[in-house]
Structure 1
Amino acid sequence: MIDDITAQLRAGRQVLEALERELAGRIASVAELLADSLAGGRKLLVMGNGGSAADAQHFAAEIVGRFKLERRGLPAVALTTDTSILTAIGNDYGFDAIFRRQVEALADEGDVVVGISTSGNSRNVQEALLLARERGCRTIGLLGRDGGSIRDVVDLDLTVPSADTPRIQEGHITIIHIVCDLVEKRLFP
């Protein structure tokens, strides 16, 4: 077990080192984009499936509640949380429409819409991001592996360079925490 634990911790460190080496500038760009949007009265919409749904909720909670600083709440919605909406849309329009329909209802020009997908190929996330772009939103993908098909439809992608889902998810939550920290520092100096 110790060897397995050591190997997993080593793999996690390697992903974090790759984020620092390959994505630091892009993470800063995402934080600036989100801070500018929130400062301009826009909101964050965020979505994903499974563990990425949990990350979407975590992201929205840090923005609405607080990350580290005592400050006013900022507008963010996780499109993964309302079971009545999700099941009604899924039943009436299909699973691929569960996020797209919410973007149709909630997204305004200038909002930031974030899709989280460890494979980069979640069709329901991609469909929502495509509509968000049509509506004049800025789009961001927190992705894994090679970025999948979503990489080509977002304004900014943060693709964690790993093929291991747990390591990708660890990268995503690290990125989310860094972005929240930078947004707070920029908006509430």
Structure 2
Amino acid sequence: MKDYIDAEFRKALANMQALAADAPLHADLQRAVEACVEALRGGGKLLFCGNGGSAADAQHWAGELVSRFYYDRPGLAAIALTTDTSILTAVGNDYGYDYTFARQVEALGRAGDVLVAISTSGNSPNVLRAAEAARARGMRVLAFTGRHGGTLAPLADIAFRMPSDETPRIQEGHEFVGHLLCALVEARMHPRDAG
């Protein structure tokens, strides 16, 4: 058991070191923050979607923005498309599971909004359809995927590809980069020293 634990720590550390050394990811993160800030300052919103652990990330990050991250400030317009069971089950029943997020994007999304689409494989059909719906509406798409990006990465304006093929490492990277995104959006929208 100790060997397994040690190996997992080594893999997690290697994953974080690879992220830290990824200069394009750093530049993409700055661009993503600017896209989110532009949407929010323009009266728009951020929509989040994903399945399973990625659904939890969608809800987590939306919660960080609506409530608070590092400090108290006004709430920011963010919606997790993973939370309304009546909508999810109605769309799933009437149109099929592949449309659970796309239908919400069609109903709630507007040009200038941002969709944050999370899929460790980059191939989740309902996340892909959400990205397609967002692009059709003139929204920006930020994708969080694994190393290869899947079909999702080419649909995105910015794709955060984690440097791993293992789902736990991909999710750990998503959580870290997602927290950075929330912290930086919070700081840009409501700087602490602005009083």
Which TM class, normalised by the smaller chain length? over 0.9
- Name the residue aligned to 2:43: 41
Are positions 1:101 and 2:86 aligned together?
no
What one-letter code is carried by the residue in structure 2 that aligns with 1:169? Q
- Name the residue aligned to 1:188: 190
> Which segment drifts farther, 31-40 or 153-162?
31-40
Matches of residues 4-153 of structure 1 in structure 2 within 5 Å?
4-22=4-22, 23-153=25-155
C-alpha distance in 2, partners of 1:101/1:187? 29
C-alpha distance in 1, partners of 2:13/2:34? 26
Deviations 1:77-104 (A, max 9, x none): 1000011110110011000000010001
Q: Where does the alignment leave 5 or more consecutive residues of structure 1 unmatched?
A: none
> Which segment drifts farther, 166-175 or 32-41?
32-41
Q: What is the count of residue pairs matched by the alignment?
A: 189
Secondary structure in 2 aligned to 1:127?
Answer: helix
1:120, 1:145 within 8 Å by CA — same for their partners in 2? no
- Name the residue aligned to 2:163: 161
What one-letter code is carried by the residue in structure 2 that aligns with 1:66? R
% identical aligned pairs:
53
C-alpha distance in 1, partners of 2:45/2:130? 16
Secondary structure in 2 aligned to 1:17?
Answer: helix
C-alpha distance in 1, partners of 2:119/2:145? 5
What one-letter code is carried by the residue in structure 1 that aligns with 2:58? A
Over aligned residue pairs, what C-alpha RMSD do you find?
Answer: 0.9
Deviations 1:125-164 (A, max 9, x none): 0111111011010111001130000011111100101000
TM-score using structure 2 length? 0.94
1:35 Cα deviation after fit: 1.6
C-alpha distance in 1, partners of 2:35/2:72? 22
Deviations 1:55-90 (A, max 9, x none): 000010001001012100011110000111101100
Runs ≥4 in structure 1, deviation > 2 angstroms?
none
1:30, 1:140 within 8 Å by CA — same for their partners in 2? yes
Secondary structure in 2 aligned to 1:149?
Answer: coil
Secondary structure in 2 aligned to 1:121?
Answer: coil
What one-letter code is carried by the residue in structure 2 that aligns with 1:9? F
Secondary structure in 2 aligned to 1:89?
Answer: helix
1:12, 1:167 within 8 Å by CA — same for their partners in 2? yes
Q: Where does the alignment leave 5 or more consecutive residues of structure 2 unmatched?
A: none
